[in-house]
Structure 1
């Protein structure tokens, strides 16, 4: 089989590898589609502190189960499935309270163990979620990205009367915008970004108000319009954003952080406690796949709007570079293993 392997930072090869055999409790998936994420590029460039090399990357993938390991019902063969990349121990404190995404022994498929940029991939059977026939392959590949939005929304508990501000109209921000509008019915969604084309994508995905804060002072714009956001999502994760979000937020607002920067930021404790602001962070997803599959079945979200490019496996380097460099026309890039 052919596998995309990052042998070391900046060195990507397509290797011929033996087809893996599923171990006890595992299924083997014949991969059909896989999505490129920023974390894949970070591993490629050597910027992901959790990755070990060599590594088959890819944590967003869909396929067909073609073999099962010991202890797995053989009836699973032939199922259309999407894989949850979160592999947890099941018995530590986070796991015991339903937060396997921060398991003390966490392994992420495509980061800590080999992932889905391969013609075949193995995963624990509990991580393989059945995808109904009504969801096309390309859209099924988008289930994992939407679980990231589902995870932060589960903490923020959006309400129809919220005034939401989303920083960043990249893939993460756009999935959140769709969820806020289509799932939670949030009435007002404002999006700030510095790329006009991304702001147009935000509007096409449900944003009511878009603000290019390249030259505009976001705080001044909101002040002039009398807007105090009650729900803020940081999907850009620059260290300057959280202090500004705290300052802009309404009393009793909730703020969600979807990523991380290693750079420090300075927070004013008084500005948090005086307004009793709640701040949430989110990593990966805590078993949100069934929830997102239902959203797709019910057409509450529209993943097809985010898919802008598709490449065959042999052009994976071109796909990664496009995703990394073209922020104007590119949103989600898929690898098609059927070509």
Structure 2
């Protein structure tokens, strides 16, 4: 089988590797589509502290089960499945309190284990979620980023009278917007510096958009009648200054959700946190959110096709990476296509 391997930082190749057989409790998935995430690029550029090289990257993928290991029902053969990349021990403190996504022994496909940028991959059967045939394969490929959005909003909570502010109209920010609007129906404002991305935010349901390259968020909120500040803020950019600003502009009793891995510190005055009794909720990966998202997609509450802009043959992965990195105005979610050659 062919796999996309980051052999070391800045060196990627499509290479032939042995076709693996599923171990006990595993299934083998013949990959159909895989989504490119910013974290895949971080591994490629040597910016992910958790990755070990060489590594088959990719943690957003869908395919059909073509082999099962011992103990797995053979009736699963042929199922279309989306794979939750989170693997936990089930025994540490985090797992015992229902937070396996921050397990002490956490492993993630595409980071700690070889992932889905491959014609086939073996995964625990429990991580392979059946996808209804009514959901397009391309949409099912990106269940994972919607699960990330579901997780951060599960952490913060969403109330009917919330006014939400989402920093960043990249793929994750847009999945958050879709969930806020399609599932919860709250007023949602989105900021970015690219008009093209802000237009896509409108397509995903944003009520108002703000180009912070031309207008400060403080002025924009005043113009929009949100002088007391947003009650829910999601930071999908994670530059240190954004958290500082979010704390400053948030309404009393607001919640702030953080997505991302910035290693740079933020200078947050404790006085602001305490005065307004703000809640900060960090969020990593997803915590058993796949069934919830699959239900949302099947009901049409969120529509992943809105953010899919490109499909590229996986053998042209260098071209796909170039699109993601060099054309943010016209690209959002880029899928690698693993359709077999006729």
TM-score (normalizing by structure 1): 0.98
Aligned to 1:336: 337
Name the CA distance, whole Å, in 2 between partners of 1:135 and 1:272.
43
Aligned to 1:23: 23
The answer as to whether partners of 1:159 and 1:185 remain within 8 angstroms in 2 is no
Aligned to 1:189: 188
Deviation at 1:225, TM superposition (A): 4.3
Could you give the per-residue CA deviations for residues 75-121 of structure 1, whole angstroms, max 9, x where no partner exists?
A: 21111101000010011111111111100000000000100111110
The answer as to whether partners of 1:3 and 1:56 remain within 8 angstroms in 2 is yes
Name the CA distance, whole Å, in 2 between partners of 1:52 and 1:242.
30
Matched, 1:164 2:161: no
Task: Show the 5 A alignment for 1:175-254.
Answer: 175-186=175-186, 188-227=187-226, 228-254=229-255
Structure 2 unaligned spans of 5+ = none
Distance verdict in 2 for CA 1:249–1:292, change over 3 Å: same
Structure 1 unaligned spans of 5+ = none
Name the CA distance, whole Å, in 2 between partners of 1:314 and 1:196.
31
Aligned to 1:136: 136
Matched, 1:6 2:14: no
The answer as to whether partners of 1:8 and 1:54 remain within 8 angstroms in 2 is yes
Deviation at 1:221, TM superposition (A): 2.6
Name the CA distance, whole Å, in 1 between partners of 2:330 and 2:219.
29
Task: Show the 5 A alignment for 1:260-299.
Answer: 260-299=261-300
Name the CA distance, whole Å, in 1 between partners of 2:291 and 2:237.
26
Aligned to 1:154: 154
Give the paired residue count: 338
Aligned to 1:306: 307
Task: Show the 5 A alignment for 1:5-84.
Answer: 5-84=5-84
Secondary structure, counterpart of 1:274 in structure 2 = helix
Name the CA distance, whole Å, in 2 between partners of 1:285 and 1:189.
22
Could you give the per-residue CA deviations for residues 150-192 of structure 1, whole angstroms, max 9, x where no partner exists?
A: 0011111112211111100000100000000000111x21111
Deviation at 1:25, TM superposition (A): 1.1
Name the CA distance, whole Å, in 1 between partners of 2:311 and 2:43.
21
Could you give the per-residue CA deviations for residues 182-204 of structure 1, whole angstroms, max 9, x where no partner exists?
A: 00111x21111111111111111
TM-score (normalizing by structure 2): 0.97
Secondary structure, counterpart of 1:112 in structure 2 = coil
Name the CA distance, whole Å, in 1 between partners of 2:225 and 2:305.
35
Deviating above 2 A after TM superposition, structure 1's stretches of 4 or more consecutive aligned residues are 223-226
Secondary structure, counterpart of 2:323 in structure 1 = helix
